[in-house]
Every structure is written in structure tokens, then in C-alpha cells.
Amino acid sequence: MSEESRSFRTAAVIPAAGRGVRLGPGAPKALRALNGTPMLVHAVRAMAASRSVSLVVVVAPPDGATEVKNLLAEHALPDRTDLLVVPGGESRQESVKLGLDALPPGFDVVLVHDAARPLVPVDTVDAVIEAVRDGAPAVVPALPLADTVKQVEPRTDGSPEPVVATPERSRLRAVQTPQGFDHATLVRAHESVTENVTDDAGMIEQLGLPVVVVPGHEEAFKVTRPLDLVLAEAVLARRRANDGF
């Protein structure tokens, strides 16, 4: 197929199978409510908000696929967006793989987006897709760091940890999602990279392929600890106020 005739059909895989241990006791993190709506519903809407995304694959907690299906059926998506729900695995990497396995043929671009980043703006989603369409095999949205970062010799006994190095902050970026990929390249990465990685682009790096960064957004932060719930609800309240509700 020539470049011109490619339609670049785009699917989004949303790993949502984690427990959310750092958030504290309660339902699996993706099912916890933000201003009355489950985090996962916000995340699915954030992907469906892009006109380029025609399929969203949700990777549910292993024993919760039916519950997630029912939940998502209650919340309308745009007509242009199809939805699939599959059960996830033990690790994030495994969950993403299970989501990729469920993709029907015909998608050129795949986004992988954490359910735990429910508030990413559509402009960030579209910027990632556009950079993949422009030829990058892997694209990550990222922001400069506010804090200086120290590399340490980790200690588990509670004693002070020795500092090993201080990487130059201006060269560091905090990476968010959605990360965008050429579909075939991401499938190949999941077939050949077995080491544990904390993001999908890391697998592309291990294949020796280029990964590029586009600007991330402060509202694409990951809901990880209890204070992040407060921040997420404040962002939603600000959006409501600005939308004139």
C-alpha cells in the first residue's frame, strides 16, 4: 500500500487490570470513582475523544471483565468508536500483550494508555498519533521534571540511602501515556522482549529502534497515591467551571 492510500486506522489499548496498591484499600484502581464516574470511563472517553481512534480495547482486572463490560455499556461512547473488553494479566506488560492479541486486523497505529491517566487532553492524544503517522515507530508524551533526581543505592532496611549520581535535570523527561506505536513494531517488541519494562516504548528501545518525545500535559498525570485523587477531582471541577456548567 502506498503512503498516500494508507488510512492509518488507530486503536487504543487501555491496561486497566492493576490493583492500585499504592492508592490504598478499595476497588481496583480503574474502577474507583472520580466525581462519581469510574476512572476507567474517563480514560476510555479521553481516547474516544480523538476522531482518529476507532477502537478502544480495555484490559480489565482478570476476574472483572464482565463487570467492566456492564459498566462501560452504561456510559455512551461516540458512534464512531468500537469497544472491546478482555481480561488482563499479572503484570502491566502482560496486560498490554493480552490487549494487543485481541486487536482485529487492519490497525496501523496503536496507542497504549494507562487507565490511571484518566484526564489526558485530546490534543495530547492527537499529537502522539500524528507523530506516528509522520513515521516514528514509537512516540511518548513527556514533560520536563520539576524535581532534581538522584540515583541511589537502594536500601530496604530503612537506613539512609547513599547517593550514586545526579543526572542533569534538563536532559530528563517524565514520560506519560498514551504512547503511540506502529502496530507491527509494537507486536514484534512484545514477541521478542522478555525483560520487565515499566513502559512500552522501553521495549522499542531494546529493539534498537528510535523513540521520540512530543510535549506531554500536566493533566495527563498518573493517579497513583491518594493525593492524586484530590488533584484529579480538582481538575474535573475546574473543567466543569470553565465549560460553564
Q: Return d(Cα 16, Cα 58) in angstroms, integer.
A: 7
Does 114 sit near ligand CTP (CB under 6 A)? yes
Q: Return d(Cα 24, Cα 116) in angstroms, integer.
A: 14
Q: Which stretch binds ligand CTP (CB under 6 A): 50-58, 75-83, 84-92, 161-169?
A: 84-92
- The closest alpha carbon to 35, from 237, 245, 242, 188, belongs to 237
Does 16 sit near ligand CTP (CB under 6 A)? yes
Q: Return d(Cα 171, Cα 200) in angstroms, integer.
A: 20
Rank residues 43 and 211 by Cβ distance to ligand CTP and give the closer one.
43
Residue 91's binding partner among ligand CTP, Mg ion, none (Cβ under 5 to 8 angstroms by kind) is ligand CTP
Rank residues 120 and 133 by Cβ distance to ligand CTP and give the closer one.
120
Residue type, 191: E
Does 116 sit near ligand CTP (CB under 6 A)? yes
Helices 39-48 and 65-73: angle between axes, nearest 10 degrees: 60
* CB within 8 Å of 195: residues ≥ 6 apart: 206
CB of 55 to Mg ion, least distance (A): 25
Rank residues 18 and 118 by Cβ distance to Mg ion and give the closer one.
18
Position among 1, 21, 76, 241 found at the interface with ligand CTP (CB under 6 A): 21
Q: Which residues are paired to 182 by β-bridges? A: 109
Rank residues 206 and 224 by Cβ distance to Mg ion and give the closer one.
224
Does 115 sit near ligand CTP (CB under 6 A)? yes
Q: How many CA atoms lie within 13 A of 15 on its CB side?
A: 28
Residues at the site binding ligand CTP, with contacts judged by CB under 6 A? 15-22, 29-30, 59, 88-92, 95, 114-116, 222, 224
